Amino acid sequence: MNEDQHLGASLDAAEVPVSGFFEQIEPKVRKGRAWTFHRLNAACDTPNGERVQAVLYPDDGQGFALYARQGQTLHAITHDGRPVRFRTFEKALTTLADVTHLDPEIIVDSSNWCEETGPH
């Protein structure tokens, strides 16, 4: 008899309460209004403000799109009405290093990653 049989529950049944527990700890993120890079700097430099974390979404053909997460709200960072994108991860890090009080942990969300197919 293996260890799981002693528990009296299947692993699938145990996953449901576990995922519910983590959703309560970390509620779903909602999309907020777009911010300019100036607004991102201001949000990070607000005394006693809520922490701001950079989130990068990779796109094989267009580079990394920049978002800011403040609390449970995700803000697209724009310039002249267009998304701010970085050609390389290194360029994103170099630019974000100049944002005072930005949370040092940067998220790279690859959940929708799809490699672009080039010429055959």
- Over residues 73-120, the pLDDT tens digits come to 999 999 999 999 999 999 999 999 999 999 999 999 988 777 766 555
- Over residues 53-83, the pLDDT tens digits come to 999 999 888 889 999 999 999 999 999 999 9
Q: What is the pTM of this model?
A: 0.71
Non-local CB neighbours of 66 within 8 Å, separated by 6+ positions: 54, 55, 56, 76, 77, 83, 84, 85, 86, 92
